[in-house]
Each structure stands twice: as C-alpha cells, then as structure tokens.
Amino acid sequence: MKMRKKFTGLLTAGLTLALVMSGCSSGTKDGGTSSSAGTETPKTENTGSSPVEITFWNMFGGGEGDFVDQIIKGYNDSQKEVTVKQLRLESNEYYAKLSTALSSSKGPDVAVAHVDRISPFVKAKQIVPVDELASKVGFDLNQITESNMKSVTYDSKPYAVPLDTHFHMFYYNKDILKKADLLNEDGTPKLGEMTPEGFEKTLADIHAKVPDVQALAVNTPYFQEPFLNLYYEAGGDILNPDMTKAAINNDKALNVLNFYMDLYKNKYSDLNDKTPWDTFHNGKAAFWFGGVWEAGLLLGDQSLNIGAMPLPPIFGSQTHWASSHTLVIPSYVSPEKQEAAVKFMKYFSEVGGKTWGQAGHVPANSNVTASEEYKSLPYRSEFIEAQKTVKFAPPTDKYTTIITTISESLQNIIFGNETPKDGLANMEKQINEVLDN
C-alpha cells in the first residue's frame, strides 16, 4: 500500500516534470521553425512569382501615423513587386526595441530612425550605406536637400534616406496680439527690437495689456528644446568641434538660462504649466515655440486665428534646433529585401513626401517642397525659410545620453534646485564623463 502511494507520488511529479519539459521543448521547436522560415523566404523571392514582403518599423502615432498608413497603402496599391507590412511600436520604447533588433539580427527590413540616433548604428556597422542601392533602383539622392543628406553622411557615405526636417516655429495668437496692439496690418506680429531685452519688452507689453494669458508659453516639461533653440541662436554648441569635450558651460548658455528665468519670474511665462502646448492651443498664450508637426492642429483651424513665422533671432542668429526622420536598412537584411526596401524608400521620398508634408514636417525631397501642391499648404513658405537655418545634433553615438543629461540638469536649474551657473558646470562635468567612457 505504502509502496503504491509512493509510486503515485513519483508518477505525479514525473508527469509535472514532463509537462514542464514539453513546454520548454515546444518553445525550442517554435524557435526552430521560425528560423527555418527565415531562411526559406529568400528562396521564394528568387522565383519572382510572389511579391517580396518587407517589414517596416516606425513609431508614428496619432495624426502622423494616419499619414504613414496612407503612404504605405499607396505604395502597396501602386505596384506588385513589393509588399510593405508595418509594425508600429510605442515611441517611448522604440529605440530600445530597434537597437535590440539590430544587435540580434532579427527585426525590420526597413525602419524609421531619427537622425540623432543613427550614429551608434553606423559605428557598429548595423545599418548599410544607401547610395549604391539607390542608384540600382534609379533613386536619385540628389533630390534630397543638401543639409539633410549631410546629416546622414559618415565617411562620405550616406547611411539613411532623410524623409523630413522638423523643428520649431514661432506661433502667435492674432487675437491676443490685437488686444495688445501688437498686430501689423498684414496679420504679422510687431516684435520690436531683436534682443533679449527688446523681446522681453514686447512680452511685458502683452503681460500689461492682456494679463490673464501667458505672453510666451514655454515648453517647460521639455525645456531642452526651447533652451537649445535660443542657445543655438546665440551661436552655442553642445560639444566642441571634434566632439571630445562639452562646450556648454559658457556665457551664451548662461544668458539664455537667465533670460528664461526672467520670463518665469516676471510671470510672462508660467513655470507650473505642465501642458503649455494646450495652453497655446486654447488661446491662453500669445506666443509659442511649437513644432512644425503641430501645424495641422494650430494652422488648420481658421477660428483659432493663429499665425506662424521662423523663430525670431532674439539672441542674434536665426540658427535653431532641428531633427529629422530618416529611413534605414539593417545590415542583416538579405540583398533581395534590401533592394525592395530601397524601392519603398524611393516611393516614400518622391510620392509619399507630398502626403508627409501635410503632417507639418518639411519634406527632405526638394522636388516635393518645390511643388505647387506643397506650397499651397498654409504658411509653408515660412517653414521652408526656417528650414534653411537649422542645426542638427552633433553626430556622436553618445547623443542620447548627453541630451538626457542636459534635459535633467535643465529641469533642476529652472525649478531652482541649482543656480544656472552651478547647473552648467555640473552639466559640463557629467557630459565629459560620458564622453570619456
């Protein structure tokens, strides 16, 4: 009897073990089939009978995503050789996933990447140069605006196809400016003298005449953006020219910080506003340094009575912050699929660019920006003007770390945990540590 009981016990345990083991083995079996499927697909491509299917990763949500959907659908309907399947990832974890995919050689055949993010991929040879591929499918890269092309060039080879340039515009609320007596006949703002003091005076005027709104809504939650815009205007740089040391601890940065601190102190801007973009959209602020991607929302609705112009040269020059969406092809992608991917890039740039321009970003393809179709969109001449003076991030593979360090330090400064002077010194020290590694 006792023997039997023991036997049952062992049997149960054994059974459980078997179940667990089979769970594991089925897992490996799955892995096996998927990898064999991976090697099989190119074979079917070679026959040429069915279209090549490529996977396209991106992080566009909301309004931008709808435009991308349109472009992909347009491409898939326009030809029979290539089918694009997209995988939309959450923007917050996009780069964690993309870099994992690139280093484990499993993932997309073509992917979106910001220009300031491609440097580590180039350094690790995880993405391929696109010039030869482009000439193979008759995609003339000379159509792409020169500054964009330069931003993706490493060792005189382009490693990505730039889709657009995006940056900030100076949006203004005409109703508020009218109340403050600062609107010209043609609907542009009277901005006075282009110095920090002069601009502050304009803001003071608005504050005095329309006290219940913010004169300038400052993007406090992402303060690095308004900071970099004016710091670049002042002629500043994040790093020294050979990108070995921080170049941020200087009077230019200090002046920009003091300027913003002044705005907060004088209540021209509200430090406690956690959603300044909504504040401006709801007509509670006169000025706003907003992204071009907000154009659809802010300029599309006539009743808002909002205008846009390039950022005013408050600190001297017109230079301002910019980034750019690009398309990259991972190195692990088979030659057939690489060719298919570059065909899709060609379409996205030449035809899709027109759709993409509606989203607000300035298309990188100069044929698109020269087209009547694009120019007929509201304020696009201003956008093209502003695009001429953009400054991209320094092409270092440490940029993500550096910009995160800067944005965290800036938060500490504007909320008074550190003086601007100490904050900048601290920032410099941290960036140098990052670069030394």
269 sits near another protein (criterion: CB under 8 A):
no
Count of residues interacting with another protein (CB under 8 A): 36
Label residue 81 left, alpha or beta by phi (over 0 means left) and psi (-120 to 50 means alpha).
alpha
Helix H, strand E, coil C: the string for 340-352 is: HHHHHHHHHHHCH
Which tokens go with 284? 């509670």
- Taking the C-alpha atoms of residue 295 and residue 289, their distance in angstroms, rounded to an integer, is 12
Provide, rounded to whole angstroms, the least separation between the CB of residue 83 and another protein.
31
Which tokens go with 262? 């002044």
Q: Chain centroid to CA 171: how far?
A: 20
Provide, rounded to whole angstroms, the least separation between the CB of residue 123 and another protein.
8
103 sits near another protein (criterion: CB under 8 A):
yes
Which tokens go with 274? 């956690």
Sheet holding 110-114, edge to edge: 82-88, 52-58, 110-114, 325-328, 161-162
418 sits near another protein (criterion: CB under 8 A):
yes
**Residues 6+ away with beta carbon under 8 Å from 372:** none
Give the contact letters, 153-192, x = binds to another protein (CB under 8 A), - = no: ----------------------------------------
> Measured from the CB atom, is 207 or 346 closer to another protein?
207
Which tokens go with 60? 């566009």
Please provide the distance, in angstroms rounded to a whole number, between the alpha carbons at the two ends of the chain: 69
Which one of residues 54, 56, 75, 99 is an interface residue with another protein (CB under 8 A)? 99
Q: Is 69 exposed, middle or buried (0-12, 13-18, 19+ CB in 10 A)?
A: middle
Among residue numbers 226 through 255, which ones bind another protein (CB under 8 A)? none
Among residue numbers 385 through 414, which ones bind another protein (CB under 8 A)? 400-401, 404-405, 408, 411-414
Provide, rounded to whole angstroms, the least separation between the CB of residue 215 and another protein.
17
> Measured from the CB atom, is 96 or 194 closer to another protein?
96
432 sits near another protein (criterion: CB under 8 A):
no
The residue assigned the tokens 């959603």 is 275
- Taking the C-alpha atoms of residue 311 and residue 290, their distance in angstroms, rounded to an integer, is 10
Among residue numbers 197 through 226, which ones bind another protein (CB under 8 A)? 221
61 sits near another protein (criterion: CB under 8 A):
no
> Measured from the CB atom, is 196 or 276 closer to another protein?
276
Which one of residues 7, 14, 32, 266 is an interface residue with another protein (CB under 8 A)? 14
Q: Report whether 299 contacts 305 (CB < 8 A).
A: no
The DSSP annotation for 106-138 comes to -S-SEEEEEGGGHHHHHHTT-B---HHHHHHTT
Provide, rounded to whole angstroms, the least separation between the CB of residue 244 and another protein.
18
Of all helices (H) and strands (E), which one includes residue 169? strand 164-173
Which one of residues 51, 74, 120, 394 is an interface residue with another protein (CB under 8 A)? 120
194 sits near another protein (criterion: CB under 8 A):
no
C-alpha radius of gyration, the chain, whole number: 26
124 sits near another protein (criterion: CB under 8 A):
yes
Provide, rounded to whole angstroms, the least separation between the CB of residue 12 and another protein.
8
Provide, rounded to whole angstroms, the least separation between the CB of residue 21 and another protein.
9
Stretch of 69-77, 88-96, 159-167, 229-237 lying at the interface with another protein (CB under 8 A): 88-96
Provide, rounded to whole angstroms, the least separation between the CB of residue 75 and another protein.
30
Strand partners, 321: 391
Q: Which residues bind another protein (CB under 8 A)?
A: 9-10, 13-14, 16-17, 20, 93, 95-96, 99, 103, 120, 123-124, 126, 221, 271-274, 400-401, 404-405, 408, 411-418, 434, 437
